[in-house]
Amino acid sequence: MERIEYEIKHAIKHMMETNYPRKRLWDMDLKVKDLIRGIRAGDDSVVIGKNVINIEGPYPLKLGSKTALIHTSCDVVAMGARPLYALDAIQAHNEEEIKMAVEGLRRQSLGLNIPIVGGNTQTEESLNSCISVVVFGELIGDKVITDGGAQVGDVILMLGHPVEGDIGERIQRAKNKYDTFLSIVKKGIEINACKDASRGGWLCNILEMIVKAKVGAEITAIPYPRSTRYLGTYIVSTKEENLKDILNICVEKRCPVIPFGRIIEEKVFKVGNREYISEEVLRDIIAKFPYKQ
């Protein structure tokens, strides 16, 4: 019990990290034509017309060489878009580090079929070695899948393998998740909300989903015991009637899917029969969280 209470405090702190930049840049959305999801939405990607764009990093160089493109493209797919191409920014100390970074990004690019068409590489001695990546995608339908669209009565699913292991395993697991999720979207199955269980784990990201949707959640199973660890899986909110169709696609694609909770009207966060975040506390978080649907 003490462990999950500690992780909830950690998750809330993590969720609030973007409050200042979002508030400070609040008026920027008004300057962009055809903007659908921008700084006010605070979603995982920006949507302008049918274009979906995401940037991630900086990652430490070694980690980024294994996962930067995977992680950045993950949020593009979560909004119902197909990644098209990417740009990178590499800071390295020497030629060997540049080779390591480029070879890792190349493997990710070829494995995911997301060409890297440009970027920047530098060797500033005073800076730590790191990578950032920008991915550009395009919506495959007319609907943008947001992370704040969960509806009362929805079931909460965990979809995909944890993205871990060596670079080959990470690419395979990410590709499997992308193919499965986009197949669900193309089939016309209604997804109300989706979010990547990335930094902060499934706990932090589901809290952000319910805060944005101004609803509560009841967790009925524990998909992974360490709730704040990076997983790289998708948290999906959808109507219960869609479960069979989603399961059929997941079986065909050999992609794991685990129902582990439900969206509820009461603004609380419950695990089993214990309430970990009361209505008073959750309403306070909602009030402090800058977000506009």
pLDDT digits (tens, 9 = 90+) for 128-164: 999 999 999 999 998 999 999 999 999 999 999 999 9
pLDDT digits (tens, 9 = 90+) for 179-188: 999 999 999 9
pLDDT digits (tens, 9 = 90+) for 276-291: 999 999 999 898 888 8
Give residue 37's pLDDT.
94
All structural domains of the chain: 1-16+146-293 (3.90.650.10), 32-144 (3.30.1330.10)
Answer yes or no: is pLDDT of 225 > 80: no
Q: Are 150 and 213 in contact (CB under 8 A)?
A: yes
pLDDT digits (tens, 9 = 90+) for 76-87: 999 999 999 999
pTM: predicted TM-score of the whole model, two decimal places? 0.92
